[in-house]
Structure formats: C-alpha cells, structure tokens
Structure 1
Amino acid sequence: MSPRRSRQAPMSEMNVVPYIDVMLVLLVIFMITAPMLTQGVDVDLPSTEAEPLPVDTEKEPVIISVDSNGGYFLEVGDDRGKPKSLSTVVDEVAAILAERPDADVFVRGDQHVRYGTVIRLMSSLQSAGASQVGLITEPPEDE
C-alpha cells in the first residue's frame, strides 16, 4: 500500500490590498491636482523679446484695452474712446466672434493696472468664445 497524498485545492482568492493602496494614492493625487487644472487662463507669455505677430490685413483684430483705472475700451467700431463695463465688452466680443469666429482677440493692458483686472477680462473673453487671447506689449527701451 502506498501512502495517499492529500491534494489541496488551489487557492482562488486574489489579494486586493496592493490595488487598494494604489487606488488611494491615485485618489489623493487627483484630489490635489484637480483644482489646479480647472482654474487658470491659458496664456503663453514670452520670456524674452517677442517677434511681432503676423497681421492679416484683410480681417480687423478685436482689441480690448484696459487703462490704469481699470476701464475697458473695445477698439472696434465708432465708439472707441468710450469706457465700457466688462459685461458690455464681453457681449460685444461674443457678437463679433459669432459673426467672425476666426477673428484675432488681443488685450492691451496698462502697466499700472491690477493683474486681477486683466485676468478677469481674459477669463470673460474665453467664456465669450475667444479660444486664444493675445497680449499686446511694447518693446523694451534700451537703457
């Protein structure tokens, strides 16, 4: 007689503890980075002197100026010198972009205006349909 070997059934359980650890780490990472991804305006600013943008002479760009007091001026049409509210500027730019979706949109801000005023304008322009907003600057003076 030969001794009988007892066969053990293979273990069919899966150890999920490492997967839970990875999931929790990813959850924490996404919770930290999600607010940073949703807030902000996509602007590519040059770090040195910039080359002039090519100007298409056939289509007039939409230029919004912000003076040192925070007044908004839409430089399109007949009433260029009159200050306007932010909501009026956004409505007029949205109407222009509905008519000409490929129009270039530029912001010219006074160097003494508050940073938040320009960012608020750029964010509002983005919600009005401007996919890209350019900043107009002057070349630096040689000292």
Structure 2
Amino acid sequence: MSDINVVPYIDVMLVLLIVFMVTAPMLMQGVRVDLPQSAAEAIETNEDEEPIIVSVRADGTYYLNVGGDQEEEKPLADITEMVSRVLRQQPQTQVLVWGDRNVSYGVVVSLMSELQGAGAPAVGLITEPPQ
C-alpha cells in the first residue's frame, strides 16, 4: 500500500512559518516616530493587503507610506486625496495612524476625522507594547 509521507511537507511549512515570523516585523515602513506604549490587543490584519499608514511627527508634520518618497513631508490635503483614491480602488484597505507620543491630541483627532472623510470606515492607531 502506498501512502504519502507528509513529514517533509510539515518540516518545510514550519521553516516557512519561522521565516515569515522573522521578516514580518521588518516590513513595517514609515517615518521614525516615538510611539506611545499600550497594553491593548493587536487588531486582526489581512496579510494580503498592505495597510495605509499615515505618520505624524511631534512637530505635527504628516507622512504617508503610499506612493513616492515616504520620508517626504506631505500636506494633509494631499494625504486625504491619496487615501481616498486608494480606498476607491481597494475599499477593504486598513488605514492606520502612526503618531508620535508628543504630538497634540487635537492633531491626531483632526487627522483621523479627515481620513474618515476620505472614505476610511475605521482608522486604527499604532502603538508599541509596554516594556
């Protein structure tokens, strides 16, 4: 009787899982900000689609991880226009805010309001786990 030996396939799957676990944290792109810490649980993400990440530095400047130079400061109007275009083509794309811990609360709230006005059904906040 001939049976398929699945042990080598399981070994390959586990090696690939480890590779993805190591490389996934390196895939986050954006402008360097000092993120606040929170013990909140992580949100579920769709790994097939890259989220839109809008970064806000402590001085209130905005950056976007979509399009050309991600290190280039962009006005809020350009960001909302770009987010709106992306969400029209891919409405399930997540929109996340990567805000510096020293940025004004009002700046983050107005950014989230503008992003929802651009078509984002929900806007998430990125934090670091407590150390």
Residue matched to 1:138 = 128
- What RMSD over aligned residues (CA atoms) do the two structures have, in Å? 1.2
Q: How does 1:96-115 map to 2 (within 5 A)?
A: 96-115=86-105
Match of 2:55 among 50, 65, 71: 65
More relative contact order in 1 or in 2 (CA 8 Å, sep 6+)?
Answer: 2
| AA matched with 1:70 | G
1:83 and 2:73 aligned: yes
Q: CA deviation at 1:92?
A: 0.5
Match of 2:112 among 122, 128, 132: 122
| AA matched with 2:90 | R
- If you compute each CA radius of gyration, which structure gives the higher value, 1 or 2? 1
Residue matched to 2:46 = 56
Q: CA deviation at 1:55?
A: 2.7
CA separation in 1, counterparts of 2:124 and 2:87?
Answer: 15
| AA matched with 1:123 | S
Runs of 4+ in 1 over 4 A off after TM superposition: none
TM-superposition CA deviations, 1:75-127 (whole Å, max 9, x none):
12231110100111000100110111110000010001111111110000011
Q: Structure 2 length normalisation: TM-score? A: 0.68
Count matched residues.
Answer: 94
Residue matched to 2:32 = none
| AA matched with 1:54 | E
Secondary structure of the residue aligned to 1:88 is helix
Secondary structure of the residue aligned to 2:45 is coil
Secondary structure of the residue aligned to 2:81 is helix
Q: Structure 1 length normalisation: TM-score? A: 0.63
Alignment gaps of 5+ in structure 2: 1-37
Q: CA deviation at 1:132?
A: 0.5
CA separation in 1, counterparts of 2:86 and 2:76?
Answer: 15
Q: CA deviation at 1:54?
A: 2.5
